[in-house]
Each structure stands twice: as structure tokens, then as C-alpha cells.
């Protein structure tokens, strides 16, 4: 079993929909949680970074962490075709290697 | 430049050849990481430098893989005697302290 699990998708939604992307993790030592967006043939781009349980909002994006259930979510409001990409969740335990989920491919249809 | 750069962007090697992949981190970033990303998978950790010191190389898959960062800035990942299973995208990331890591575009290696 991988330390970070993520549904690979693909997830297909119409433009304007609210998107929910989720990960679970098994190692309670993980302290930091990130969401990366990766377009085809590009490197991962950091979207959200959070340390504590609770919500963090940035524009149309909200990251949610529940440490008690080891569950990480990313919500995208008013999704756009330009949001079509692979979304990677990642965790680490203080300044070291990131452990990634396998990524969820999202397609937003106009 | 403003971001992490990697070269070459694409590399085709014949099985058994040696390859060298370069990473230029963001200026002033102390930490540098290498990851390997297989097709359809998330990146997997290979090795980590803090300045010129290689602090963790636990993710290197075999002794054919070697990384260096001699002056604490540019890093090179070398793969000797490449095998088909080495085909992947090799990503470099840099960070001030290690938590928020910023990635380069990657080098796509194809071993024939």
C-alpha cells in the first residue's frame, strides 16, 4: 500500500462545476500538505501549501486537511477548461522529500 | 532566470549509454531535490542536497545512478549504463528550506 493514495480518474466535469479532489495518507508523521497542478509535458506547479488541519482558501481554490482521518481535499470553484490538468497531492515531514499521490487527471469541458 | 531550469528537455539514449541531466535551481535556494516520474504516476524521490552536501540518497534505484552538486548550486544527475526501465521524466526541485518545493520542467529520458 502506498503512503499517499489518490484516485487516478479521469474526472470529467462541465465548465462552472465545483470539483472535489481527494487524497488519503497513512503516515501520521506527515506535517505539511501540498497540492500541485501538472499540465501535460510540464513540471508540477505548486498551488496550495498548508500545515494545519482546517481550510485554506486562495481564489477559486480551497485546500482542506483533516489530520484525524488523514484526509486531504482540494476544491475548485467555477472550474474552467484551463483547469484541465493532473492534480497531485503531496506531503512531507519537515523540510525533506515529498511523498506524492499518483495524481488525478481532471478534464473540464466547455 | 526566475524558475528552476533543466537541460536537456528531451534525451534519447541507446541501452548501455551513460547520460547526464542538469538542473539549475532558483538562485539562493539551499535545498535541491531530484524526483523520477514514470508515465501516469506521481513523482518519486531520488535524492536531496542541502548546499553541496548530499543528505539523502535513499531513493536512488541502483548504483548506476549518481548525483552531485559540487558548488552548492547547479546539480547533475548521472545514469550509467542506461536500461529501458530508466525511461521516465526526471524532475528537479529547489527550495529555501525544503517545505515549499518549486519544480523545473523535467527531462524526459527515453532509453531504446
Hey, are the CB atoms on A97 and B97 less than 8 Å from each other? no
Q: Give me the residue label for grid cell 541507446.
A: B14
Q: Which of A44, A95, A103 sits opposite B103 (nearest CB)?
A: A44
For strand B10-13 and strand B107-111, is the pairing parallel, antiparallel, or unpaired? parallel
Strands (E), A1-110: 4-6, 11-14, 19-25, 32-38, 45-50, 54-58, 61-66, 71-76, 85-92, 99-100, 104-109
Q: Specify whether the CB–CB gap between A98 and B47 falls below 8 A.
A: no
Residue partners of A49: CB distance under 8 A and separation at least 6 = A32, A33, A34, B99, B100
B25 secondary structure, DSSP code: P
Contact A88 B42 (CB under 8 A): yes
Whether the per-residue pLDDT at B1 is higher than 60: the answer is no
Predicted pLDDT at A78: 98
Residue predicted with more confidence, A15 or A1: A15
Q: How many helices (H) and strands (E) does chain B have?
A: 0, 11
Which of A34, A43, A101 minimises the CB distance to B105? Answer: A43
Residues of chain B contacting residue A45, judged by C-beta atoms under 8 Å apart = 103
Counted across chains A and B, CB pairs separated by less than 8 A come out at 61
Give the integer Cα–Cα distance in Å for B26 and B80.
27
- Per-residue pLDDT tens over the stretch B24-78: 999 999 999 999 999 999 999 999 999 999 999 999 999 999 999 999 999 999 9
Return the pLDDT at A1: 77
Cα A55 to the center of its chain, rounded Å: 13
| Contact at CB, B99 and A100, closer than 8 angstroms | no
pLDDT for A94 equals 64
Amino acid at each position: 500500500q502506498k503512503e499517499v493514495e489518490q484516485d487516478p480518474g479521469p474526472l470529467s466535469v462541465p465548465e462552472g462545476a465545483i470539483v472535489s479532489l481527494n487524497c488519503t495518507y497513512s503516515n501520521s508523521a506527515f506535517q505539511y500538505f501540498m497540492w500541485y497542478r501538472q499540465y501535460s509535458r510540464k513540471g508540477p506547479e505548486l498551488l496550495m501549501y498548508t500545515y494545519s488541519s482546517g481550510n485554506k482558501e486562495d481564489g477559486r481554490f480551497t485546500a482542506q486537511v483533516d489530520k484525524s482521518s488523514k484526509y486531504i481535499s482540494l476544491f475548485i470553484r467555477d472550474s474552467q477548461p484551463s483547469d484541465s490538468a493532473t492534480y497531485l497531492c503531496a506531503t512531507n515531514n519537515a523540510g525533506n522529500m515529498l511523498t506524492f499521490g499518483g495524481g488525478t487527471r481532471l478534464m473540464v469541458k466547455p | 532566470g526566475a524558475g528552476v531550469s533543466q537541460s536537456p528537455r528531451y534525451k534519447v539514449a541507446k541501452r548501455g549509454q551513460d547520460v547526464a541531466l542538469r538542473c539549475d535551481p532558483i538562485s539562493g535556494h539551499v535545498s535541491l531535490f531530484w524526483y523520477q516520474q514514470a508515465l501516469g504516476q506521481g513523482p518519486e524521490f531520488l535524492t536531496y542536497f542541502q548546499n553541496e552536501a548530499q543528505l539523502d540518497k535513499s531513493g536512488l534505484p541502483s548504483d548506476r545512478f549518481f548525483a552531485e552538486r559540487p558548488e552548492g548550486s547547479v546539480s547533475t544527475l548521472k545514469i550509467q549504463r542506461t536500461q529501458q526501465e530508466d525511461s521516465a521524466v526526471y524532475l528537479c526541485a529547489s527550495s529555501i528550506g525544503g517545505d515549499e518545493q518549486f519544480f523545473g520542467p523535467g527531462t524526459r529520458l527515453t532509453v531504446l
